[in-house]
Amino acid sequence: MSATAAITTRHDWSLAEVRALFEQPFNDLLFQAQSVHRQHFDANRVQVSTLLSIKTGACPEDCKYCPQSGHYNTGLDKEKLMEVQKVLEAAAEAKAIGSTRFCMGAAWKHPSVKDMPYVLEMVKGVKKLGLETCMTLGRLDQEQTQALAEAGLDYYNHNLDTSPEFYGNIITTRTYGERLQTLAYVREAGMKICSGGILGMGESVDDRAGLLIQLANLPEHPESVPINMLVKVKGTPLAEEKDVDPFDFIRTLAVARIMMPRSHVRLSAGREAMNEQMQALAFMAGANSIFYGEKLLTTANPQADKDMALFKRLGIKPEEREEHADEVHQAAIEQALVEQRDSKLFYNAASA
């Protein structure tokens, strides 16, 4: 397939077509992905989000990769829902170090009636700070989705994780259909979708293709597509899984870029294990979003200043919320980074 043939936004991908994308020589695939990327984005801008756990651990779901599941003993410190004020302080700090989006994650099956008012206050408060808001709270019903939209939530994160065929090997307490239903409610309520998956759980290339087909064949592509590399946490059933070949990981990013040309493809969990060369290849493959801060969910994330140093070496600038960034703002971010270097800012964020 030529680079130009791939730039149309499609919703009818077949497994054979996606397999063919994966099977291309690496250089051809990367060239095609980078060509598609440049049709829709500034290739030297990367969107920067910060993720905060607003409620950590003791999750009733049994996702085999997750240290927050109450089904596994990972020694994680459990935390109740954070106070609204503390969340807003963390959001203000995230803004100071250059994040444009603040993602709040709670390890829940679904939000409870008791917790919803606090969650809505968090959305309103973060929004007032001038940040885009994103939440991941588990399954939502229609009423909750509507309330979040009315509070001003911009994005809802709900990952499909893997292909429908492989899904049962990883999670048994929530169905694939329930996940798709939550995504449908989010769309109906007019919010943007953040949805992706995880590589390295023992899935086949067809499962990676199957996940991307599910996402790309939704009526509208998710605006944000996080591609995670499994972080193997002791105590979870996937702690001893084989490493993903780094080139296979990059291939998946490239195929995601080609299939969802207008989406932000996010290099997400697992970035700590990637060297700078691999991250640079990921940006070349069309990844244009990262999580940024000391911790991602409950696992380590490269330090924010290390990220900025890499951006500088690669000539990449953080994407601004409104594309009128200037050198003054860039300098302010760099200054804030220096000040933050030794701070105890704690992003032990959760996912659902």
Catalytic residues: 59, 63, 66, 103, 134, 194, 266
Q: Does 53 sit near ligand SF4 (CB under 6 A)?
A: no
Q: Which is nearer to ligand SF4, 33 or 107 (CB)?
A: 107
Q: Are the CB atoms for 77 and 321 separated by under 8 Å?
A: no
Long-range contacts of 88-92 (CB under 8 A, 24+ apart): 88/122, 88/125, 88/126, 88/129, 90/50, 90/52, 90/345, 90/347, 91/50, 91/52, 91/125, 91/126, 91/129, 91/131, 92/129
Q: Min. distance of Cβ 142 from ligand SF4 in angstroms?
A: 20
Q: Does 61 sit near ligand SF4 (CB under 6 A)?
A: yes
Q: Min. distance of Cβ 72 from ligand SF4 in angstroms?
A: 9
Q: Which two tokens stand for residue 143?
A: 């009423």
Q: Does 255 sit near ligand SF4 (CB under 6 A)?
A: no
Distance of CA 100 to the CA centre of its chain: 14
Q: Min. distance of Cβ 41 from ligand SF4 in angstroms?
A: 29
Site string (65-104) toward ligand SF4, x via CB under 6 A: -x-xx-----------------------------------
Phi and psi at residue 295, in whole multiples of 5°?
-135, 145
Q: Does 228 sit near ligand SF4 (CB under 6 A)?
A: no
Q: Which of residues 296-315 bind ligand SF4 (CB under 6 A)?
A: none
Q: Which is nearer to ligand SF4, 68 or 162 (CB)?
A: 68
Q: Which is nearer to ligand SF4, 197 or 302 (CB)?
A: 197
Q: Min. distance of Cβ 35 from ligand SF4 in angstroms?
A: 34
Q: Does 140 sit near ligand SF4 (CB under 6 A)?
A: no
Q: Min. distance of Cβ 107 from ligand SF4 in angstroms?
A: 4
Q: Does 352 sit near ligand SF4 (CB under 6 A)?
A: yes
Give CA separation, 41 vs 30, 213, 229, 257, in Å: 16, 22, 24, 11
DSSP letters for 54-122: EEBS-BSS--TT-TTBTTS---PPPB-PPPHHHHHHHHHHHHHTT-SEEEEEE--SS--TTTHHHHHHH
Residues in the chain: 352
CA distance 135 to 87: 12
Q: Which is nearer to ligand SF4, 58 or 280 (CB)?
A: 58
Contacts with ligand SF4, residue ranges (CB under 6 A) = 59, 61, 63, 66, 68-69, 107, 138, 350-352
